[in-house]
């Protein structure tokens, strides 16, 4: 994670310096501030439509599904033909092989659903009454769709045997962040990489997730960042963490963020979150909106809101 943050910090410093020079030029010349800062390479790339994500089977063949609703239906109804416990994390996730109509796909099953009186986090912080629940996985996925994100793999709630849990499609040809660092892999497009890191910070601040370890960040062969393992998100507080790391925001996310309300959240995640958790989610949203609004007021919209780089989605 330190390497990830360092890569991001270096780019931030460079962008801040460029932004300052342009600001001085605008003041001296009296030129109007552009809607998008033309000098900033992150902001000059035109918006590209969100592509349909392609999921593959155990042999790497694209699945014959037209949309993610069909992917989710497969996750809900396919037969479980193999299962293997994974020695990763503290929740004992299980890798499943699913089969239906001749199609075989792997998925990860999480069934943890408990409340810890107190938990000492990796960085030494103490968390009281920490809820660790598989039901937060589909909540995070459904919320990500509301926010026009494409970095959380499809996941459904499903009972397997005697366990009720979450079943999430497997991301093939991907490494965890700690493996990426160990292998010395560098992002070929630093702009796209930093955009994805910023989106992760924003999402984690919104969902109250302070358990984003290097083992629940996946990077695929195209250096697409995938966010997994949200069983400890939606922590029972209104505090929005990691906002100090947020310096610019994807425009589509920002627009969708402001549209969130009780009605839309109840419809999307009411099955998985309590009324209190939804209320706290909206309180965190207000804090995130206030933070970004302050950035926009201070630096200008063109220096804060960005469009996706072509390889960033």
Q: Would you say residue 235 has pLDDT above 50?
A: yes
Contact 89, 106 (CB under 8 A): no
pLDDT of 89: 64
What's the mean pLDDT when you consider all of the chain? 84
Query: Residues 147-196: pLDDT tens digits?
Result: 999 999 999 999 999 999 999 999 999 999 999 999 999 999 999 999 99
Residue 61 contacts residue 105 (beta carbons within 8 Å): no
> What are 24-36's pLDDT values in tens digits?
333 333 333 323 2
pLDDT value, residue 241: 78
CB 209 within 8 A of CB 233: yes
Q: Is the pLDDT of residue 41 over 70?
A: no
Q: What is the pTM of this model?
A: 0.82
Q: What is the pLDDT of residues 243-256, one digit of tens each?
A: 889 999 999 999 99
Cα–Cα dist 130/118, whole Å: 7
Average pLDDT over residues 191-218: 93
- Of the chain, the percentage scoring pLDDT greater than 70 comes to 81
Is the CB of residue 107 less than 8 Å from the CB of residue 115? no
- Which residues on adjacent β-strands are paired with residue 100? 103
d(CA 299, CA 294): 8
Mean pLDDT of 192-217: 93
The model's confidence at residue 127, banded by pLDDT at 50, 70 and 90, is: confident
Residue 46 reports pLDDT greater than 60: no
pLDDT at residue 274 above 50? yes
- Amino acid 110: pLDDT: 96
Instruction: Quote the pLDDT of residue 52.
Output: 55
Query: Would you kindly state where each structural domain of the chain is located, as residue ranges?
Result: 2-312
Rounded-to-integer distance, Cα 35 and Cα 41, Å: 14
């Amino acid at each position: 994670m330190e390497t990830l943050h360092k890569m991001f910090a270096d780019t931030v410093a460079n962008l801040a310096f460029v932004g300052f020079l342009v600001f001085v030029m605008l003041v001296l010349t009296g030129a109007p501030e552009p809607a998008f800062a033309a000098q900033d390479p992150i902001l000059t790339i035109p918006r590209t439509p969100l592509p349909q994500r392609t999921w593959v089977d155990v042999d790497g063949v694209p699945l014959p599904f037209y949309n993610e609703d069909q992917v989710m239906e497969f996750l809900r109804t396919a037969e479980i033909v193999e299962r293997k416990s994974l020695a990763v994390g503290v929740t004992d996730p299980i890798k499943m092989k699913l089969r239906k109509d001749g199609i075989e796909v792997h998925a990860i099953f999480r069934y943890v659903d408990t409340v810890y009186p107190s938990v000492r986090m990796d960085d030494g912080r103490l968390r009281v009454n920490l809820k660790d629940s598989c039901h937060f996985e589909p909540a995070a996925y459904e919320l990500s769709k509301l926010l026009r994100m494409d970095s959380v793999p499809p996941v459904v709630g499903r009972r397997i045997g005697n366990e009720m849990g979450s079943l999430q499609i497997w991301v093939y040809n991907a490494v965890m962040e700690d493996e990426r660092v160990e292998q010395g892999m560098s992002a070929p497009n630093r702009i796209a990489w930093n955009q994805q890191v910023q989106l992760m910070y924003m999402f984690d601040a919104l969902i109250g997730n302070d358990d984003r370890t290097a083992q629940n960040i996946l990077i695929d062969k195209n250096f697409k960042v995938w966010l997994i393992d949200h069983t400890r998100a939606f922590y029972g507080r209104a505090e929005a963490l990691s906002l100090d790391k947020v310096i610019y925001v994807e425009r589509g996310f920002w627009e969708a963020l402001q549209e969130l309300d009780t009605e839309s959240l109840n419809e999307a995640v009411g099955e998985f979150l309590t009324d209190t958790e939804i209320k706290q989610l909206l309180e965190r949203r207000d804090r995130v909106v206030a933070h970004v609004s302050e950035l926009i007021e201070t630096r200008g919209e063109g220096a804060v809101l960005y469009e996706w780089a072509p390889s960033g989605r």
